[in-house]
Amino acid sequence: MHEKIRIGVVGAGWWASEYHIPAVLAHTEAELAAVCDPHPERLKRVMEVFSLKKTYADYHEMLEKEILDGVIIVTPHATHYSIARDCLEYQTHLLIEKPMTLFAREARELVEKAAAIDRQIMIGYTYHYHNQALRARQAITGGEIGGVEYLNSSFSSDMTGFLSGNVSEASSPIRYTVHGPSENYNKPEMMGGGQGHLQLTHPIGYLFYVTGLRARQVQAKMNNLGLRVDMVDAFTVEFENGALGLVGGTGNAHHNHRMSLAVYGQKGCYVVDTMAKFSALRKEDGTQEELDWSSSSSYRGAVTRNFIGVILGKEENYAPGEVGWRAVELLDAAYVSSKEKGRVVNIEELYR
């Protein structure tokens, strides 16, 4: 390994230019070795803004010519698997933006390949970096609220501009300084689904992170509200330990962004609600431990910083590939179920 670890970024669009690239450049123990993007104007703009020296139009060329310790993949969802698979052939650690892949068999293959060559995969889940997340995970997986029996996970946000394909600065829920969001979000061939793959992956990844559960069966309904991709989703889930859960949300919530999760165990519960800025563990006797929901103002760069720390061997992976894989399983099953008029889908079917 070099004096500084060398990071390559595949994708120079909105999320890469707003969060990942600045976070790598700001890190004292990392070097941004190269950025790759097939769109000349987008690559040129990023090169000028960040004074980049090495850029590529083809990630294969970047992998061939650069010695990289890690690669950050920030591309359309449908491309994640093939790019990640190729990067693992070059022995790199991976940070893959969510969702990890579109299909469970692809996610499993990546996790197994990475494990075989002792490389880490991290997924771009930001909620894991709020201060209360680790405490919640310790409490639930450590049995403080008993075995999990029921959970309810909801995520609603303003994705109308994204999922309709009418992306503009005015319709973007988040401001940007270099590039705006892509117009690909309503294209199934590029992004898979809509609200599920774009947004519900966040709370699904979070619930698997804090509970350690894994889905067994999924039944789903989706409503596109006239668009090409799903806008409103509702899933019923049975987990491998027998617990039951409801997962859902809408991308048509306007400015009423909210992520909530309630996990009920035999001896208590864990509740978090971002709209109320509230998080707590409650025991069966009614005692309550309020958790610190706050985060640093730069928490969106926390995933990138954690990725660098993991490569250096200094930090735990707070968004591991296994969690991303479990999230993909649930979503893959949900899209199959919805397409087949709400049929109950067993996770094992996804690997046949």
Task: Say if CB 165 and CB 218 are below 8 A apart.
Answer: no
Interatomic CA distance for residues 204 and 248, integer angstroms: 9
DSSP character for 269?
E
Specify the higher pLDDT residue, 168 or 304. Answer: 304
Burial (CB count within 10 angstroms: exposed 0-12, middle 13-18, buried 19+), residue 169 = exposed
Place of tokens 């139009």: 57
Share of the chain above pLDDT 90, in %: 86
Task: Note the pLDDT tens digit of each residue in 18-74.
Answer: 999 999 999 999 999 999 999 999 999 999 999 998 999 999 999 999 999 999 999
Q: At what angle do helices 80-88 and 104-116 cross, to 10 degrees?
A: 10
Separation of first and last alpha carbons in the chain: 40
Strand order in the sheet with 70-73: 55-56, 30-36, 5-10, 70-73, 93-96, 121-123
Q: Which two tokens stand for residue 291?
A: 């958790």
Of 157-166, 282-291, 301-310, 312-321, the one with minimum mean pLDDT is: 157-166
Say how many C-beta atoms besides its own lie within 10 A of residue 240's C-beta. Answer: 11
| Closest C-alpha to 303, from 15, 91, 68, 13 | 15
Q: What is the pLDDT of residues 199-226, one digit of tens each?
A: 999 999 999 999 999 999 999 999 999 9
The predicted structure's pLDDT at residue 162? 84
**Per-residue b/e over 270-307, b at no fewer than 16 CB within 10 Å?**
bbbbbeeeebbbbeeeeeeeebebebeeebbbbbbbbb
- Residue 1 in this model has a pLDDT that exceeds 80: no
Measured from the Cβ of residue 242, the count of other Cβ atoms closer than 10 Å reads 10
* Residue 260 banded pLDDT, cuts 50, 70, 90: very high
Tens digits of per-residue pLDDT, 75-96? Answer: 999 999 999 999 999 999 999 9
Q: What is the pTM of this model?
A: 0.96
CA distance 53 to 236: 49
- What confidence score (pLDDT) does residue 174 get? 65
The answer, yes or no, to whether residue 249 has pLDDT greater than 60, is: yes
Q: What's the CA gap between 325 and 318, in Å, rounded?
A: 14
How far is the CA of 60 from the CAs of 31, 38, 65, 66, 203, in angstroms? Answer: 20, 11, 9, 10, 33
All domains of the chain in start order, with CATH: 5-123 (3.40.50.720), 132-294+322-351 (3.30.360.10)
Residue 297 has pLDDT above 60, yes or no: no
- Mean pLDDT estimate for the chain: 94
